[in-house]
Chains A and B, each alone.
Chain A
Amino acid sequence: AQTVTQSQPEMSVQEAETVTLSCTYDTSESDYYLFWYKQPPSRQMILVIRQEAYKQQNATENRFSVNFQKAAKSFSLKISDSQLGDAAMYFCAYRRNNDMRFGAGTRLTVKP
């Protein structure tokens, strides 16, 4: 079974600084999708960024970028120029077909 591991239960970053959240996953498949979701205190799950496994180029969305290492089964999220509004739980997710599995989450605190 596919599993997703987020080894950092909590992370903290100073406003305007850069932070990287880690994620690893276990799969024997070659075709799949990876996602990062943000869950602020409002509890809404918001899609931050996605990556297709067949693409070598790392996805980027404004201040958010990923480092996708397929061989290492690693999918980290980098947040640049952190803002107070980035404070939230961040979930890494693996999806193959219609089975999406989530990691346990990383709580990000942004210090002013």
Chain B
Amino acid sequence: DAGVIQSPRHEVTEMGQEVTLRCKPISGHDYLFWYRQTMMRGLELLIYFNNNVPIDDSGMPEDRFSAKMPNASFSTLKIQPSEPRDSAVYFCASSYGGPMGYTFGSGTRLTVV
């Protein structure tokens, strides 16, 4: 298995632009998580899905952020409009649930200038 695949690896965009981050979870995993990592706040859970359904989006910072999971093999995290304070590394992770840990992707480093 190729693991959790995220794209792009790096993204630089101008303030006000729309940004879309992509994630392909491990086949068979029924949970998908989006995390954000910053120096100030560490790793924060933004939203998670179970069987493609959003379960908890209480970590989404504001309405500019949205996430979708149209099928079991694909999810997106969209920021519109982007702001400099959105600059961070965004991780996608997936799991079976149960006692196992999450498998993380390599992350997308987002820079908003």
Contact = CB atoms under 8 A, between A and B. Distances in A.
Interface of A: 33, 35, 37, 42-47, 50, 52, 91, 93, 95, 98-105
Interface in B42-95: 42-43, 45, 48, 50, 55-56, 89, 91, 93
Interface size class of B (residues with CB under 8 A): 20 to 34
Contacts of B99: 33, 50, 52
A contact patch SS: strand
A77 B33 CA distance: 25
B34 interface: no
Identify whether the interface residues of B are mostly helix, strand, loop, or mixed. Answer: strand
Contacts of B89: 43
Given A43-B89, A45-B91, A105 B42 contact: yes
Contacts of B107: 43-45
A100 B42 contact: no
A98 B50 contact: yes
Interface string B3-34: 00000000000000000000000000001010
Interface of B: 31, 33, 42-43, 45, 48, 50, 55-56, 89, 91, 93, 97, 99-104, 106-107, 109
Which 7 pairs from chain A and chain B are nearest by CB?
A45-B104, A102-B43, A47-B101, A35-B101, A104-B42, A43-B107, A44-B106
Nearest to B97: A98
11 contacts: A33-B99, A35-B101, A37-B101, A43-B107, A44-B106, A45-B91, A91-B43, A93-B101, A95-B101, A98-B97, A103-B42
Contacts of A95: 101
Contacts of B109: 43
Nearest to B3: A44
B52 to A, nearest CB: 14
